[in-house]
Structure formats: C-alpha cells, structure tokens
Structure 1
Amino acid sequence: MAICSQREPRAKRPERNATRLLCALLLISSFCLARSLDVNATCNCASEDLQIAFVLDCSGSMNHTLATLQEQIKRLVEVLEGQARTFSAAVIAFRTKEYVGKQKKIDVLPFTSDKRALSDFLREQVAEGGGEELTDEGIAAALQKLDWAQGARKVVVLLGDEQPSEERMELCIRYVRAMKERGIVFHAVTGSQTAWIYWAPANATSWKQQLMDLGDEAKRVFRLPYYDELARLGGGISVSSWNSRELILWLLAFGLGMNEQDAKARIDVTQFVEWSRQRTEEEQRLQTSSGERPSGVPLIAWVKHGGDWQPPRYWESLFAHLEQKLALSGPPQAKTLALSDGELDRFPVLYVTGHGPIRWTTEEKARLQDHLRNGGFLIADACCGSPEFSDSLRGILKDLFADRPLARLPPTHPLFSCGHRIAQVRASTEPRSNRLEPVDPELFGLELPDPATGRLRLAVVLSPKSLGCCWFTRPLSPFCQYHDADGLALTANILVWSLTR
C-alpha cells in the first residue's frame, strides 16, 4: 500500500500544515483497519420521521423473548434513530384476562425518543400469568392511545406466542384495518420457541398428537395463522422468531421498511450483535473513567447551509473504533460550523452535503472563495446521490471561479493511489438500487493556484455518489451507493491527499 509523499511545509501557514500532518498520521494508520471494515453502513439521509410501536405479549410463556427484547432494545433504537429525521418508539404490554398480579393488564408507554425511558419501561415489565390473552386490547391501545404523527412512517409490531380467541380475532381485524386506513403498517412476529404448543390445529385431538405432527424444522419456522392474517391485512410481514438473532433481524427490518428478501440479504445480525457488545463495553469504560478526554486534532468542519442537510451523525463512532484498535492518543476533531464562523480556518478540510440545492448567502460564498484561495480544501458529498446538490455546487463554483472548471478526475489521478490503490469501486448503477457493480471511481475536482508556490493544487472534490453512507460502524443501510469498504477507502484517500499535498 503506497502512501503519498509529503511536500515541504508551506511557510505562510505553519500552524495549518502542522494540523494537516497530525491528521494525516492518524488517517494513514487507519488504512489497514478500513480494509477490514466490511459492515453495511448507515445512511445519514434521515429524510422522514419514523414512529414504531411494539405491542408485546407479556404473559408467562413470553419470558425468554421479553428478556431478549429488553437486552437489545437500546441498540435497536440507536440504529433506527439514525435512519430517520426524527424517531420515537412506544410500547404496549398486554397480559391475560385472568391476570391478577402487580403489573397492569394493559400498560402503555407513549411515543418517546428518550432511550432511557424506553429501556426503563421494558425493564419493569415481567412476563407472568396465563389464560385468555388480551391481544385485541393491546392492538386497540396502539391505535387509540398513541399520538400518531401526520406524515411520519408509522409501524406497529405485534410480538406474541398465542393466538387470540375467535371473538377477539374479529376485533383485532377491525383495529388492524383501521390502522391501514391511517397509513400504519402492521407486522406480526411469532416470538417464542413454544408458540407451536399453544396453537391447536383443527385436526389435532390432543396436545400429544399436535406435538407428533410437527417436525423440528416445522416447529422452528412455525407462525401463528392468525398472526399471518393480521399482517396480511395490515400490509406488513408475518415471521417467526425462534431465537434472539432472528428477532433482532426482523425488528430492524420492520423499522427500516424493508421487505423479507431485502432484510435477509442486507442485514448481518452477527455484526449487529458484535457492534452491540462493543458499544456496551465502550459505555461501561466511559462510565468508570475520569471523564477526561483529549480534545483531538481539528480535521473536518461540517459546513452549514440553508438547504436540506444535516451533519453526519456517527463519524465519532468510527474514530472511537480506531482509538480502541490503534491506541490513538486522541481522535481527530470534527465540528459543525457556518462559513462565517471564526473557527473555520482551524479546520483544514470543509465538508458539505445535502439532499437538494446548497443554499449559502452571498457573504458565505465570498468567505468560501477566500478560504479556498488561501489553501483550504472542500469535500462536497451528494447525499443519496442527489443531482440537485451536485448541480447547485457546480453553479456556485462557476460563479466563484469562472476560469477554473470542475472536471472528472481520470482513473490515473494520483489521488486514487494515495493510501489505497483504487482501480475500481463497487457502486450502484441505478438510483435507490442495492445492486453493486465494479465501475471506475467517479470524483470531480477543481484546481486552484497554491498560495505559497503558485502551482495548481486540488482544492475541491465533488462525489456525485454518497460517501458519507460508508463511514459508519453501524450495521445497516438498505441502499448505500458504494460498497462500504470502497466508499471508506475513497474518503480516506481524499482526506490524505488534502492533508499531505
């Protein structure tokens, strides 16, 4: 793996060059790790609101499944909140008609974005009792007692192990149909290893015959027929969850709006479980430490604008992982700034992204012009491959630097061998497609005279396909435009080029 050679420091900007060199050392050290990061990244597009309500059977037979959900719900929420502009979850716990314990027969946690409140509510629930389950009342509570937002993506997940009675099933059907009319998608999970025991086929004359009629594989994939019917009526999916990994898979898929085929193809549950374990260890380590942490080296400023955008949410997760693996003394620093901010010159790299046109004021454009002419560097990243974003950047650059074209970098450009040797990348060739094919890397660059030497240098790089989706250690993204390892490699090369040239 070749690393770009470093030029002599620019005398006019010694502080900035020192920052560049420190950042370059950190990034160069990360290359071997970047090659091994083969996780499905999370898109930072966050283009819609998401509400998901869990309707949980908390009768005694659900003890094992409820414990699994209590363990993983915090991580599930961390993933799902990164997929939406706003995210909130609700829980309805239902028990049986005959239940007389300390818990409520129907217990409701309204929609909340507070992960602690959600985790505490689940921890308080105890799976106990038996008898006629109040499935219909649990579904009714989800429909009638929750504040569903207009325009949000709305999801209900029923998780249980026993069918409602025929009378209660009629009510369930009525409520699920009402949900569909309101745009709420209804999914059902047969969520216990013992669900097949509690279901009595019409031709089964005894529990013993029922046990004998079902083979081991049939028991493993068994779904409650009434759950199938409710999911069909509610426009959702009915699945079985024999173990905790299957349960995690389907809860993630439902929250992301994925169908069964895409979920099985795109979600790596093993990676999710490992990521969850690492996050738990990291939280425990931070709780027991002194709380002191080096401020880090200024690296990237996420540049604000008035259009549809937001800063990448989980860049910190990547560098926390690097720090753990490489024992770095401190992570590179990233900060959200406006072009008018006085701190801008401390950051050698500016990064702008968005789903639509970039909206800067005349004064902000003038500040960008000065910053780039004085040696600054800009990465423009079209989130989700937005053509409106790319077109707006081209227009801005044409106004600011009329004599300097924004041109595609040829495959032989040394940027593609600065760090990673990139001949081709795996990328989607159609919008919103997860089919990746090997293609030449597609980056556009604008060159400006170096303020110290007068020689042309690369000052702006535009990626018309989203790079930001590929940076994160989260295990999900339905439609990443690059294979995550290739997108990460491209980003690393751009950064090292900007810091060492």
Structure 2
Amino acid sequence: MIPLRRSVRVLLLCGIVLGWAGYEGRAAERENGRLTIARMKYDGGGDWYNDPEAIPNLARELQLRAGIETNPDQRVVTLTDDLLYSSPFLFMTGHGEVRWTEPEIRNLRTYLTRGGFLYADDDYGMDEAFRREMKRVFPDKDFVELPFDHPIYHIIYDFPAGPPKHHEHDGKPPQGFGLFHDGRLVVYYTYESNVSDGWADEKTHNDPPAKREAAFRMGINIVAYALYR
C-alpha cells in the first residue's frame, strides 16, 4: 500500500477534520467522533440501493488505511430527511431514472451551499437524469471536467490520469466532473468509471484485486478531499 502523504496523515491521526467546521449540521455527526456516510434514497425508478455493502466496506477501509473514524453502517436518507443535515458526505448511485421533488431540490441546494458534499457515481444509465436534476438544483452552474492535477486525485493516493476505470460500460474513458459553489467543489460526479462498484464485496462483481484496490484508493481520496477542502 502506498504510504499516506505525511501532511494528510498527521491531520488524520490528530483528528483535525478542518472542513467539518464550516458545515452547520455537523455538530451532531461529531458527537461520537465518527464520520457517517449517507446514501441518498430517491424516486424515479433508479436503484439507489445498489451494492448495499459498498459504503460499509469503504467505511472499514477509511478507518484502517486513513485513520478516519467512520461509522460502519451507512445512513439512508431522502432529501427531505432532517438527518441529511447531520451527514457531511452524501453518496448516490444507480442505474436509470432520478427524480427529485421541488422540496428535495431546495433541500439539496441548501445542503450543498452550507458545506455538504455530494459524490455521485453513475452505475450506468444515470447520466442524463442526474444532469437534468442537478440543473434544477443549480440552474446557473454547469459541470466541468476536473483536471488531472486536481487535489481530489492526489490528496492521499495518486491518480495521474483521473478516476480509475472500474467497469467498461460503453467503453468510453472514465471522467470526473465537478460543480462549484463560491469556488468550492460541492459535487463530484464520476462517469464511465463506476468506482463504487469496486467497494462491493469481492463476490458481487468478481472484479480482480487490482481493480478493487484502485476503487478503494479513489474512494478514500474522495472522502478525504470532501472533509479537508
């Protein structure tokens, strides 16, 4: 395993989660000194629940490799759930359709502009619906592809070519996109990469160890960046 970068490792071991301080809802999340990763439950028919073991597996690796104290279970939330605001890191994935109501749109906008972070991973077929709904959240913002020198690709592990390619899908190159608010990355979106499938149990997709290793490393980078940005 590649050693953690020294500066990041010192912060992690000291428990200084710098990015949490600016998020209004994070006090409840720090009560037991642990991070809880939330998974978004949404309507529209897409399988938001795909690979339910993915987040618990990532939580284990965050604790073992990076020293980030993480609750072993994911928190399933809707965008109208009050618990949304006590989760600094929100994850979503799925295949196909995504639909948010107007109250959900407003809540997600509030969550992101107050310091929350959304990581969305297209598990195949989610791209059109997700982009459409995010345009409702931020009508004046567009996704931009993150350059390969962006810190999210280097904060702990190096990914000099951007997000890893986990599953082939349409055979296109993997891409990582971002939405920014006041100069801060609030949404990170992976397309044709499917990183989160690599967090599933080994038997779920029968992926080779090297691919699963890359997926966990990228996941650790994403969470670390979200907490330290």
- Check whether TM > 0.5: yes
1:316, distance to aligned residue in structure 2 (A): 2.5
Q: Which residue of 2 aligns with 1:491?
A: 219
Residue among 454, 462, 465 paired with 2:189? 462
Q: After TM superposition, list the pairs within 5 Å mapping 1:104-143 onto structure 2.
A: none
The residue type equivalent to 1:469 in the other structure is: D
Q: Does 1:472 align with 2:205?
A: no
SS of aligned partner of 2:46:
coil
1:428, distance to aligned residue in structure 2 (A): 6.0
Alignment deviations for residues 149-208 of structure 1 (CA, whole Å, 9 cap, x no partner): xxxxxxxxxxxxxxxxxxxxxxxxxxxxxxxxxxxxxxxxxxxxxxxxxxxxxxxxxxxx
CA 1:326–1:403 in structure 2 vs 1: closer, same or farther (change >3 Å)? closer
Alignment deviations for residues 405-464 of structure 1 (CA, whole Å, 9 cap, x no partner): 10111111111101111113652684278xxx9x6x621000002xxxxxx100001111
Residue among 34, 42, 48 paired with 1:310? 48
Q: Which residue of 2 aligns with 1:390?
A: 127
Residue among 20, 26, 33 paired with 1:16? 26
1:487, distance to aligned residue in structure 2 (A): 1.7
Identity %: 25
CA 1:16–1:479 in structure 2 vs 1: closer, same or farther (change >3 Å)? same
Q: After TM superposition, list the pairs within 5 Å mapping 1:46-61 onto structure 2.
A: none
1:472, distance to aligned residue in structure 2 (A): 3.0
Q: Distance in 1 between matches of 2:63 and 2:147?
A: 34
Alignment deviations for residues 249-281 of structure 1 (CA, whole Å, 9 cap, x no partner): xxxxxxxxxxxxxxxxxxxxxxxxxxxxxxxxx
Q: Does 1:373 align with 2:113?
A: yes
SS of aligned partner of 1:309:
coil
Q: Distance in 2 between matches of 1:11 and 1:476?
A: 37
CA 1:478–1:340 in structure 2 vs 1: closer, same or farther (change >3 Å)? same
Q: Distance in 1 between matches of 2:40 and 2:129?
A: 15
Q: With structure 2 as the length reference, what TM-score do the two structures score?
A: 0.76
CA 1:335–1:416 in structure 2 vs 1: closer, same or farther (change >3 Å)? same
Alignment deviations for residues 113-136 of structure 1 (CA, whole Å, 9 cap, x no partner): xxxxxxxxxxxxxxxxxxxxxxxx
Runs of 4 or more, structure 1, over 6 Å off, are 321-330
SS of aligned partner of 2:148:
coil
**Superposition CA RMSD, Å:** 3.6
CA 1:17–1:411 in structure 2 vs 1: closer, same or farther (change >3 Å)? farther
In structure 1, stretches of 5+ residues that fail to align are 23-294, 450-455
Q: Does 1:422 align with 2:149?
A: no
SS of aligned partner of 1:460:
strand
The residue type equivalent to 2:152 in the other structure is: L
1:432 and 1:479 in contact (8 A); partners too: no
Aligned length: 213
Q: Does 1:442 align with 2:175?
A: yes
User: Which has the larger displacement, 336-345 or 306-315?
Assistant: 306-315
Q: With structure 1 as the length reference, what TM-score do the two structures score?
A: 0.37
Larger RCO (CA within 8 A; separation ≥ 6): 2
Larger Rg: 1
